[in-house]
Amino acid sequence: MLTKLYKKMRLLKHKGREPYSSLYKLLGYYPDNVHLYEQAFLHKSSSVEGDDGRWLNNERLEFLGDAILDAIIADTIYKHFQNRKEGFLTNTRSKIVQRENLNRIAVQLGLNKMVRYSAKLNSHHNHLYGNALEALIGAIYLDQGYEVCYRFIEEKIIKKHMDLDGIARKEVNFKSALIEWSQKNKLEISFDLIESFIDNDGNPVFQTAITLTDFQIGVGIGYSKKESQQNAAKMAIKKLRNDKEFQQMIAEMKKKRQEEQEESLQEQEEDNTSTAIDEITDASLAITIEEED
């Protein structure tokens, strides 16, 4: 009782001050340990030294928040998508917690105005806002417990910024989808890194091209090889779906491949027939020789 009264008096004292005011608008409650939230918004590029000599940033909180977010999202989609199989649930969860999606939600929540990071760091490819969102979830868990954390994710993130059914239908892993298409149609594709360079901010940039036989069907640029491959695959899939001329070319390639396979099969059958005839002839010759003996 005394502990609750002390907390209430302390919070009333700081109620109108920063960062309590901003955190209240974001969270819907006043935090008990405001330092956890301050650390959640502290990128490693702006680490500060604590009283014990340790350098503080949001990486440890991000690790914790990532695990908690995974668990709560898993629980949410398990309840939302009745009777769906494990593969569907796993795929949907991965779409929800992917970096690009969390980064978008973090900006919509206003975390981009609260995160502290070095001015030298280019934020557009580091997903630091999405990472800060996970760190915030870790801070909420440590400060208020699992139930409050669950309520924050459900009320502030899922209901306001997520369309679970739309996300489930959304195609995200373009590279996997393209590889699956190539295997189904028995057409070989390759992902080739054609260029890498450093941009004006000192960040590595990669350019990937996708080749189908002798045709380049997609080119993508990204701040990692994986990102450039995804962007290239996205372009290729868009071309496969919307480019009528390209679709006709694919149809002709498949027809040609089928004709070659049929020709090869026919040649094999002729070889087998010829071999069988030779075997019969040899057998007849052997019988004739035995009769003569």
Catalytic residue among 32, 86, 100, 134: 134
Between CA 92 and CA 98 the distance in angstroms is: 10
Alpha helices in 41-145 (DSSP H): 59-80, 86-96, 99-109, 128-144
Kindly tell me the burial class for residue 209, based on how many C-beta atoms sit within 10 Å of its own C-beta (0-12, 13-18, 19 or more).
Answer: buried
Identify whether the C-beta of residue 90 lies closer than 8 Å to the C-beta of residue 173: no
Amino acid at 21: S
| Residue 28 phi, psi (nearest 5) | 90, 10
66 is catalytic: yes
134 is catalytic: yes
Q: Is 110 helix (H, G, I), strand (E, B) or coil?
A: coil
Identify whether the C-beta of residue 59 lies closer than 8 Å to the C-beta of residue 53: no
Catalytic residue among 66, 171, 214, 270: 66
Between CA 10 and CA 16 the distance in angstroms is: 12
Between CA 217 and CA 83 the distance in angstroms is: 38
Q: 50-64 b/e with 16+ CB inside 10 Å = b?
A: eeeeeebbbeebbeb
Identify whether the C-beta of residue 19 lies closer than 8 Å to the C-beta of residue 38: yes
Residues known to be catalytic: 66, 134
